[in-house]
Structure 1
Amino acid sequence: MNIFRLAGDMTHMFSVLVLLLKIHTIKSCAGVSVKTQELYAIVFATRYLDIFTSFVSIYNTFMKLVFLGSSFSIVWYMRYHKAVHRTYDREQDTFRHWFLVLSCLLLALLIHEKFTFLEVLWTFSLYLEAVAILPQLVLLQRTRNIDNLTGQYIFLLGGYRGLYILNWIYRYFTEPHFVHWITWITGLVQTLLYADFFYYYFLSWKNNKKLNCQLNFKIFDARKP
C-alpha cells in the first residue's frame, strides 16, 4: 500500500466520522441528503460481498466493516431516529435516486471486465459511487445553505477521491499491468461532480463572509456618537 492509498482511506473514514458526529452529537441531518446516503449504503453492500469469500488483510477487512456499518447507521439515523429525522428536509431532497440504481445496474450488466456475479456487482458499485453524490449536490443547490460540518464532510469526500486518483497514477508507473479503465473513468466522473460542489461551497462561504462583514460594519457604525 502506498501513501496516497492510505491517505485516501483515512480521508474517506474521517468524512464519515464528521457526518456521524453531526448526526449523533448535534442530532441534526439538516443539509444532508438521505438519498445519497442510501446510494452509498448500496455501493458498499455490493462492493464488499467478497468479505465472505476472500481475505486480503486485517486492515482491508476492518475498513470494509467500517464503511458498511457507518453507511447503514447513517441511513437508520436519518430515517428512523426521531430527533434526527425531524431535521431532515424531505421537501427539498426529492432526487429520484432509484433511477441511478437501475441505470448503473444495466450499465454494469453491459460493460464489465468479467461476467460473474461478484464482478458485475463490483462494477455496479463503481458506477453507482460515481454518481451517488448527485442527490446531495441537488439538495445543496436548492437550499444554497452549507453548514460547516456538512461542508467538511463533502470536502473530505472530494479529497478522498482526489487522493485515490493520485494512487492510481502512482500504481500505473510503479506496478506492471496496472490498467483498470472502468475504475479510472468512474473516478474521473466522480471527481468532476465534486468540482461542482466546491464551486457552490465557495459561493456559500463567500456569501456568509460578506454577511458577517456587513453585520460587523453595522455594529461598529451604531457605536458612533
Structure 2
Amino acid sequence: MNVFRLAGDMTHLLSIILLLLKIRTMKSCAGISLKTQELYVIVFATRYLDLFTNYVSFYNTVMKLVFLGTSVSIVWYMRYHKVVRQTYNRDEDAFRHFFLVLPCALLALMINHAFTVTEVLWTFSLYLEAVSILPQLVLLQKSRNIDNLTGNYVFLLGSYRALYLLNWIYRFFIEKRQILWITWVSGLIQTALYVDFFYYYIKSWKNHQKLKLPA
C-alpha cells in the first residue's frame, strides 16, 4: 500500500467520523443529505459482497466493515432517531436520487470488465459512487449557509477521491500496474463534481469567512 492510498482511506474515515460527531454530539443532521447517505449504503453493499469470500488482508476487511457499518448507522440516525430526524432538511433534500440508480445499473450491465454477478455489481458501485454526492451538493446550494462540520465533511470526502486518483497514478508509473479505465474514469468524474465546492471552501478558508455557495 502506498502513501496516497493510505491517506485516501484515512481521509475518507475522518470524513465519516466528523459526520458521526456532528450527529452524535449535536443531535443534528442539518445540511446533510439523506439521499446521498442512502446511495452510499447501496454503493458499499454492492461493492463488498466479497467480504466473507475473498480475504485480502485484515486491514482491508476492517475498513470494509467500518465503511458499510457507519453508512448504515448514519441512515438509521437520520431516519429513525427521535431527535436527529427532526433536524433533517427534508424539503431542501429533494433530489430524486433513485433516478441515478437505474442508469448506473444499465451502464454496469453494458460496460464492465467481466459479465459476472460480482463484477457487474462492483462496476455498478463505481458508477453510483461517482454521482452519489450530487444530492448533497444540491442541498448545500439550496441552504447556502453551511456549518463548519458539514463543510469539512464534504471537503474531506472530495479529498479522499482526489488522493485515490494520485494513488492510481502512482501505481501506474511506479508499480507498473495497468490502467483500469472504468475505475479511472468514474474517479475523475466524481472528483470533478467537487471542483466548484473546493473553490468556495478554500476561498472561505483564506478569507476567514463562513462557507457559502452561490444559488
User: What TM-score comes out, normalization by structure 1 length?
Assistant: 0.89
Higher helix share: 1
* Contact kept? 1:36, 1:132, Cα under 8 Å: yes
> How high is the sequence identity, in percent, across the aligned residues?
72
What's the offset of the Cα at 1:196? 2.0
SS in 2 for 1:91: coil
Deviations 1:19-70 (A, max 9, x none): 0000011100000000000001110000000102110000000000000000
| Residues 124-143 of structure 1 mapped to structure 2, 5 A cutoff | 124-143=124-143
Inter-CA distance 206–8: structure 2 relative to 1 (3 Å threshold): closer
Deviations 1:99-150 (A, max 9, x none): 1011101110011010000000000000000000000000011110111000
Match in the other structure for 1:32: 32
Match in the other structure for 2:77: 77
Pair 1:68 & 2:72 matched:
no
* One-letter amino acid of the counterpart of residue 132, structure 2: A
What's the offset of the Cα at 1:162? 1.0
Inter-CA distance 173–207: structure 2 relative to 1 (3 Å threshold): closer
* One-letter amino acid of the counterpart of residue 63, structure 1: M
Pair 1:55 & 2:55 matched:
yes
Match in the other structure for 1:120: 120
What's the offset of the Cα at 1:176? 3.2
Match in the other structure for 1:91: 91
* One-letter amino acid of the counterpart of residue 194, structure 1: Y
* One-letter amino acid of the counterpart of residue 150, structure 1: T
* Contact kept? 2:33, 2:135, Cα under 8 Å: yes
What's the offset of the Cα at 1:202? 5.0
What's the offset of the Cα at 1:171? 0.1
What's the offset of the Cα at 1:79? 0.5
* Contact kept? 1:35, 1:135, Cα under 8 Å: yes
* Contact kept? 1:146, 1:204, Cα under 8 Å: no
Gaps of 5+ in 1: 211-225
Match in the other structure for 1:189: 189
Q: CA-atom RMSD, angstroms?
A: 1.6
Deviations 1:138-170 (A, max 9, x none): 001111011100011011111111111110000
Match in the other structure for 2:8: 8
Deviations 1:59-97 (A, max 9, x none): 000000000000000000001101000100100000000
SS in 1 for 2:48: helix
Match in the other structure for 2:213: none
Aligned residues: 210
* One-letter amino acid of the counterpart of residue 154, structure 1: V
SS in 2 for 1:11: helix
| Residues 94-113 of structure 1 mapped to structure 2, 5 A cutoff | 94-113=94-113
Match in the other structure for 1:174: 174
* One-letter amino acid of the counterpart of residue 25, structure 1: T
> 1: CA distance between counterparts of 2:159 and 2:51?
26
